[in-house]
Amino acid sequence: MGAVHPPELPEGPKAAHSVSVRHNFETAHRIPHLVGKCVNLHGHSWWMEATVTAPLLDRGTVVEFGAFKGRVRSWIDTHLDHGAMLGADDPLAGILAEHRSKVFRFGASDPGPAERFAVGLPHPTVEAVAELLARVVGQALRELSAAAGAFVSEVVVSETHVNTAGWRHART
């Protein structure tokens, strides 16, 4: 009896493995520089899905899934859930913080430890929230044991069930 070999997989552009974590959070935001109703403080039931990709598996995984999803979900729950995301230059940011409301500032010149992920993102648009969460997921990935070459390949954020924005790694 000869050696047993796994079945061949179809050839294609650079095959890879991936894992995704989804999480939801309730958060208000406002976009004062836009025209229309988004200048008002309003909330959404946000959904985030982040995907990490690796060319090969390490001990059968891309990243240890339990620790990865725990870290990402904990960061979101601690810093965004049941709070307000505002631009650092938004006058409501200071007023809400004075009244002990949870405020996450985008584009702060004096960012706190969590707000450093929003440096260079001046307003909490859904596109900016996707990039913010890509940065957070990237930090979580760097802090955990992961397969060689693992990277954040995509983050999709839904602010309503019909509106989404995404951030995608543009590998060259």
- Comparing 11-20, 21-30, 138-147, the range with the smallest average pLDDT is 11-20
Of the candidates 48, 49, 134, 129, the one whose C-alpha atom is nearest the C-alpha of residue 86 is 129
DSSP E strands, the chain: 17-29, 42-54, 83-87, 103-106, 151-158, 164-168
Q: Is the pLDDT of residue 10 over 80?
A: no
Q: Express each pLDDT in 99-119 by its tens digit.
A: 999 999 999 999 999 999 999
Q: Express each pLDDT in 23-66 by its tens digit.
A: 999 999 999 988 889 899 999 999 999 999 999 888 889 999 99
Predicted pLDDT of residue 12:
55
Q: What is the DSSP letter of 148?
A: T
**What's this model's pTM, rounded to 2 decimal places?**
0.90
Q: Which residues contact 117 (CB under 8 A, 6 or more apart)?
A: 132, 135, 136, 139
Inter-CA distances, 69 with 43, 95, 111, Å:
24, 33, 25
Instruction: For the beta carbon of residue 72, count every other beta carbon within 10 angstroms.
Output: 22
